[in-house]
């Protein structure tokens, strides 16, 4: 059972909860783990000597960051033995939420995947510095490390992410048109129409966690990717599944629903008007963030 304040908006924890969740989610790539970290942060905050806390926001950010570091370190071993590709938990973001930097900016699935290749400390420094604009001195205080060390880590993490995060099309209208055409092609089982929307070098990752049907290795090329997607949708179990556009991790993606329940989320990178990278999350344990 969770115990958090629900009414006193003057409480610093509630005042900064959005920021705390955003930090934990970017650190962990998991809605469930981020919520667990916030619960632990609240328990720590509720038992703290408030008179001794001069800067509540800094105290809370330090707490959530270090709890996330601990959880991320222990989660690495589990992810190494994960069945098939590991993808972050998708987060449903409304158009209004997308305007709030703390919620949706720099939270794309593509970035979260790249952040997985950083060490836990590098990830913490990158998130605090590049996403939330903390100074090196502030980060040094959060992580209790010398500032020169933090500067080196920040530079290393930034260069690492830059090298692995190619730039893609960000035109919202183009993305909306491609999404609409992709949904129509998939819903109609039109192989050629699906292939026309895929870049020659397209790659598809699907995360079923060993619980539902998913490709356990990346798929390459328009023909292979298109046939696999249409094959999944053609199965009897998929007959009641509906595809619809949705804001996922700050970008327009595709939500798969059966009745009122989300059963999958598709996010993608767009380059030169075609889909280059597809990330298909269907692990039922990772769909909590899609329930709005």
Q: In tens digits, what is the pLDDT along the chain, a chain of 292 residues? A: 455 655 566 799 999 999 999 999 999 999 999 999 999 999 999 998 888 888 999 999 999 999 999 999 888 878 888 899 999 999 988 655 444 444 445 688 999 999 999 999 999 999 999 989 999 999 999 999 999 999 999 999 999 999 988 778 778 899 999 999 999 999 999 999 999 999 999 999 999 999 888 999 999 999 999 999 999 998 877 778 999 999 999 899 999 999 889 999 999 999 999 999 999 999 999 997 787 5
First vs last Cα of the chain: how many Å apart? Answer: 20
The predicted pLDDT at position 218 comes to 97
Neighbour count for residue 218 (Cβ, 10 Å):
15
Helix (H) or strand (E) holding 248: strand 241-248
Q: Report the interhelical angle of 136-143 vs 56-80 (nearest 10°).
A: 70
pLDDT at 240 (0 to 100): 86
Whether the pTM exceeds 0.85: the reply is yes
Which ranges of the chain would DSSP assign to H, the alpha helix? 12-15, 17-28, 31-46, 56-80, 109-115, 120-126, 136-143, 147-164, 172-187, 191-196, 222-234
Parallel, antiparallel or unpaired: strands 198-207 and 274-281: parallel
DSSP 81: T
Spatial contact of 208 and 282, defined as CB atoms under 8 Å apart: yes
Q: What pLDDT was estimated at residue 81?
A: 84
Tokens of 214: 């998913």
Smallest Cα–Cα separation from 10: which of 47, 56, 54, 48?
Answer: 56
Q: What span, in angstroms and rounded, lies between the C-alpha atoms of 21 and 35?
A: 7
Q: What are the structural domains of the chain? A: 1-81 (1.10.1740), 172-290 (3.10.450.50)
Residue 194 has what pLDDT? 98
Tokens representing residue 92 in the block: 């449903």
């Amino acid at each position: 059972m969770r115990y958090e304040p629900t009414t006193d908006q003057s409480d610093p924890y509630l005042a900064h909860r959005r920021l705390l969740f955003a930090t934990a989610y970017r650190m962990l790539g998991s809605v469930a783990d981020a919520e667990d970290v916030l619960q632990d942060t609240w328990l720590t905050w509720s038992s703290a000597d408030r008179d001794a806390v001069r800067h509540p926001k800094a105290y809370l950010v330090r707490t959530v960051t270090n709890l996330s570091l601990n959880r991320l370190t222990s989660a690495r071993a589990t992810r190494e033995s994960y069945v098939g590709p590991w993808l972050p938990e998708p987060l449903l973001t409304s158009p209004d939420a997308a305007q709030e930097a703390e919620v949706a900016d720099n939270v794309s699935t593509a970035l979260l995947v790249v952040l997985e290749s950083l060490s836990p400390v590098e990830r913490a420094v990158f998130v605090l510095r590049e996403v939330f604009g903390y100074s090196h001195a502030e980060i040094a205080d959060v992580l209790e490390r010398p500032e020169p060390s933090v500067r080196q880590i920040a530079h290393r993490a930034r260069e690492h992410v830059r090298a692995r995060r190619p730039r893609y099309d960000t035109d919202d209208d183009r993305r909306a048109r491609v999404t609409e055409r992709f949904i129509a092609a998939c819903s109609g089982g039109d192989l050629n129409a699906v292939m026309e929307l895929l870049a020659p070098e397209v790659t598809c990752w699907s995360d079923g966690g060993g619980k539902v049907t998913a490709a356990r290795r990346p798929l390459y090329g328009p023909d292979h990717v298109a046939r696999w997607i249409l094959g999944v949708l053609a199965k009897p179990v998929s007959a009641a599944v509906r595809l619809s556009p949705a804001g996922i991790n700050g970008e327009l993606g595709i939500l798969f629903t059966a009745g009122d329940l989300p059963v999958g989320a598709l996010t993608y990178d767009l380059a030169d008007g075609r889909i280059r990278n597809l990330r298909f999350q269907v692990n039922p344990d990772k769909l909590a963030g899609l329930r709005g």
